[in-house]
């Protein structure tokens, strides 16, 4: 369970807090790809910390279409913003997208440590602020009607995204931007062919910022 201390959430906390943290009633679970981690309306009693793998939060339209609201990668944690916003149950289903190991951290016990460690409290506040900023970025991007506009807005503002929230595949980016993957792939090829961006894996390098800005102006 010492892997728990590697999480960014616990950077620079006191030695006493580390001891108390490792003494909590933490549950460790492993999941296979596509396995359900939590169902919608499950009681919100735990923070989920991803030691290995990747989880996704999925909601559904009235027609049954899946909408992926978030991905959570190794080293990430959630949903502090829901718990401290007084949400009582999970508003979405949570699945493992690949083989994953997850720590379930009891919120009630965890709050006692926060009360005595100001560094931990600041870390939580920063964590929540990063998610809020990320969600606002996604909302702003998806207000544009065309795929190329959403993509351009995303690329321009990539420096605002914490590395733990960056999608690791085009399929994930398509989900985040609420577009279909073939259309996204087509626009990425266009931008690369015309030397607007370089793309290695999911690492973007902007070659022509002015062109991207013209797309969304």
Rg of the chain, C-alpha, whole Å: 19
- 111 CA to centre of own chain: 22
Give per-residue pLDDT as tens, 142-168.
999 999 999 999 999 998 888 878 899
Residues 5, 52: contact at Cβ < 8 Å? no
Nearest to 79 by CA among 10, 131, 120: 131
Q: Read off the tokens for 158.
A: 């990539």
Q: How many helices (H) and strands (E) does the chain have?
A: 8, 10
pLDDT in tens, 20-47: 999 999 999 999 999 999 999 999 999 9
pLDDT digits (tens, 9 = 90+) for 51-65: 999 999 998 877 777
Peptide bond before residue 26 is cis, with ω within 30 degrees of 0: no
Whole-number average pLDDT of the chain? 93
Q: Answer yes or no: are the C-beta atoms of 7 and 49 closer than 8 Å.
A: yes
CA atoms 7, 105, 67, 153: torsion sign = negative
Do the beta carbons of residue 38 and residue 90 sit within 8 Å?
yes
């Amino acid at each position: 369970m010492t892997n728990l201390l590697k999480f960014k959430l616990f950077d620079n906390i006191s030695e006493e807090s580390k001891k108390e943290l490792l003494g909590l009633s933490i549950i460790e679970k492993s999941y296979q790809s596509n396995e359900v981690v939590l169902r919608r309306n499950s009681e919100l009693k735990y923070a989920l910390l991803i030691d290995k793998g990747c989880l996704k939060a999925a909601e559904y339209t009235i027609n049954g279409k899946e909408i992926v609201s978030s991905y959570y990668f190794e080293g990430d944690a959630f949903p502090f913003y829901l718990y401290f916003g007084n949400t009582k149950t999970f508003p979405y289903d949570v699945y493992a997208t690949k083989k994953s190991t997850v720590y379930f951290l009891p919120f009630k016990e965890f709050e006692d440590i926060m009360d005595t460690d100001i560094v931990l409290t600041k870390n939580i506040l920063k964590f929540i602020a990063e998610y809020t900023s990320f969600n606002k970025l996604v909302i702003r991007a998806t207000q544009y009607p065309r795929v190329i506009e959403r993509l351009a807005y995303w690329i321009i503002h990539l420096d605002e995204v914490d590395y733990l929230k960056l999608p690791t595949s085009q399929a994930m980016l398509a989900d985040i931007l609420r577009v279909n993957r073939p259309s996204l792939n087509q626009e990425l090829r266009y931008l690369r062919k015309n030397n607007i961006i370089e793309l290695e894996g999911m690492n973007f390098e902007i070659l022509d910022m002015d062109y991207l800005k013209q797309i969304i102006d």
